[in-house]
Structure 1
Amino acid sequence: MRILVCGSLAFDRIMPFPGRFSEHILPDKIHILNVCFLVNGVDEKFGGTAGNIAYSLSLLGEKPVIVGCAGKDFGPYELWLQKLGLSLEGIRRIDEEHTAGAYITTDLSDNQITGFNPGAMKHPSNYDFSGCNPADTLAIISPGNVTDMIEYPRTFRKLGIPYIFDPGQQITALSGPDMLDAITGSFMLVTNDYELELVMKATGQDREALKERTTFLVTTLGEQGSLVAGGGAETRVPAAPVDKALDPTGAGDAFRSGMLKGLALGKSVPEAARLGSVCAAYAVERKGTQEHSFSFEEFRARYQGVFGPLS
């Protein structure tokens, strides 16, 4: 099956501050804030929703097509994707922009101050999907360029390509009508429980009304697992146990990777969500969104320990 992963590509540049922000910010002077934090270097990681989802899919033996934009500094990320055996055909290069980047300063209390430069993500990816076989293609629209998030659902519906809509961090950038249009006719709407509340507020639709517009409504619930609604039933899927949770940042994207793999294997959506739970467990055990690693046999064994044999 051909898997299309539409979304962002970004560098996460993490700067640890060896103190606490609260010791340097005066509450009564917040209106004239002017502070400088001397950090202990910069740790650059590969990220972005499309990159993260594609990364875990590659660990699961898939070769998805990333659909998004990158900038003039994309070289190291490009080499990383090539090392993973992933195609670059869907990545549009914007030479006058930098690749999207998050600049994250973290203090000793794990508080964060983040600046995000969308860079190349400001531009639509303009990918041509007309050559895709709808019977053998599955797409996910994850947070990325807003124009892509509005137009690609319409394109997929026209071509008959089933798609998962995952608005995530771009919920506030989408209008209610645009979001409702993207959800209507989708194979799945996937959010966490907080994002689902935002979607309902923006669209004016309650959970029951949203279930009428998509085939499956999947809601992730952190350590409580996920809830799959569709086909006249609701199934609670437990989270897979973790040895030590170090960083939940990449868990959502890893969950989506596992779920896509399950669907590619022909599993039901609840079964696919179980693969998502196991994939997410690997992600939270490492700091960073593309730092975890496993073989498919290791994944299969871990899955079996939680949910039973994976055929």
Structure 2
Amino acid sequence: MQIYITGSLAFDRIMSFPEKFSDHILPDKIHILNVSFVVDGLFERFGGTAGNIAYNLSLLGEKSVILSQVGKDFGLYDERLQHYGLSVEGIRTVEQEFTAGCYITTDKADNQINGFNPGAMKYPCQYDMTRIDSAEAIGIISPGNINDMVDHPRYYREKGIPYIFDPGQQIPALGGEKLRDAIVGAEILIVNDYELEMVMKSTGMSQEDILDNVAYLITTLGEKGSVVSTRDEETSIGVCPAEAVVDPTGAGDAYRSGLLKGLSMGKTVVEACKLGAVCATYAVEKTGTQEHSFTLEEFTRRYEGVFGPME
């Protein structure tokens, strides 16, 4: 089964400020704020929802196709993707833009000031969807370009291609009508518990309404695991204990990778979510979204230590 991943590719540029922001902001001058923070250095990491999902899938032995857009500074990321054997055929380069980037400055009290430049993500990827073999494909639509998040579900529905809809941080930008349109007909809607409330509020749909329009609703609950809901039942999925929780960023994308891997193997959604739980644990044990690694043998041993023999 070929996996197609709609979503973002981005650079995360992380800076550390060795003091407190509050010591350099004058409360009575907040209306004319003008501050400059000298940081200790800058770390650049590869990220974006599509990049993170594809990276984890590569560790699991799956070579997915990324449907995304990048800018003129994409060279290093391009090399990384190809190093892991990932197809770049679905990635559009917008020469007049930079690749999407998140600029994160953290002070010693763990307060953050973030800036996000969508850059090339403002443009649809323009992939020729007719190249997808509808009999051998599954898609996931994760947060990225809004047009792609609306158009790709429509195409998948028309061609009978199963897809996972994962709106994430783009829920407010999509709005109720576009959200509802993308949800209706999805095989799986996956959100965390807070995002589920946002989806219901934005669309006016209840959880029952959602389950009338998708086969499965997966709700992730962080350290409490996840829940797979259908019209008939709910199944709780436990967590795989972490050796140390270092950074939860990227755990959700890793979970989705395990889910996709399981589905590509013909496992049930519940079984596939267990693979997702193990993959997420590897992500939280390292700083960054693509800094962890594992072999398939290591992954299998860890899975079986928590969930029993992998069928």
Give TM class, smaller chain.
over 0.9
Q: Distance in 1 between matches of 2:34 and 2:198?
A: 32
Query: 1:38, 1:77 → 2: CA distance?
Result: 27
Whether the 8 Å CA contact 2:211–2:231 is kept in 1: the answer is no
Instruction: Give how far 1:231 is off.
Output: 5.3
CA distance in 2, matches of 1:4, 1:231: 27
Check conservation: 1:130, 1:159, Cα contact below 8 A: no
Consecutive unaligned residues in structure 1, runs of 5 or more = none
Do the aligned partners of 2:226 and 2:237 also contact (CA within 8 Å) in 1? yes
Question: Structure 1 counterpart of 2:164, which letter?
Answer: I
Q: Does 1:191 align with 2:191?
A: yes
Map of 2:17 onto structure 1: 17
CA RMSD of aligned residues (A): 0.9
What CA deviation, in whole Å up to 9, does each residue of 1:189-222 have, x standing for no partner? Answer: 1011111111111101111111111111000000
Structure 2: segments with no counterpart, 5+ residues: none
In 2, Cα distance between equivalents of 1:140 and 1:5: 5
1:4/1:64 contact within 8 Å kept: yes
- Residue of structure 2 in register with 1:229 after alignment: 229
Question: Take 2:308 and 2:117, find their aligned partners in 1: how far apart are those partners?
Answer: 44
Stretch moving more, 31-40 or 213-222 = 31-40
Once the 2 structures are TM-superposed, how far is the Cα of residue 43 of structure 1 from its aligned partner? 0.1
Tell me if the contact between 1:260 and 1:272 (Cα under 8 Å) persists in the aligned partners: yes
What is the TM-score normalised by the length of structure 2?
0.98
The residue that corresponds to 2:273 in the other structure is: 273
Q: Which runs of 4+ in 1 moved over 6 A?
A: none
Give the length in aligned residue pairs. Answer: 311
Q: Which moved more, 1:298-307 or 1:223-232?
A: 223-232
Give the corresponding residue for 1:121: 121
Counting aligned pairs with the same residue, the percent is: 61
Task: Give the whole-Å Cα distance in 2 for the aligned partners of 1:28 and 1:191.
Answer: 41
- Offset at residue 238 of structure 1 (A): 0.9
Deviation of residue 112 (structure 1)?
A: 1.2
Q: Are the counterparts in 2 of residues 249 and 289 from structure 1 also a CA contact under 8 Å?
A: yes
> Residue deviations 1:220-263, cap 9 Å, x none?
00000001002511100011100110111110000000110011
Any idea what the Cα deviations from partners look like across 1:46-74, whole Å, max 9, x if unmatched?
A: 00000000000000000000000011000
> Is residue 2:160 matched to residue 1:160?
yes
Q: Which residue of 2 aligns with 1:97?
A: 97
**What is the identity, as a one-letter code, of the residue corresponding to 1:28?**
D
Match of 1:29 in 2: 29
Provide the C-alpha distance between the structure 2 equivalents of 1:282 and 1:290, rounded to a whole number of angstroms. 10
Distance 2:68 2:109 in 1: 34
Whether the 8 Å contact between 1:12 and 1:45 is mirrored in structure 2 is: yes
Which secondary structure does the structure 2 equivalent of 1:135 belong to? Answer: coil
Alignment map for 1:1-311 (pairs within 5 Å): 1-230=1-230, 232-311=232-311
TM-score (norm 1): 0.98
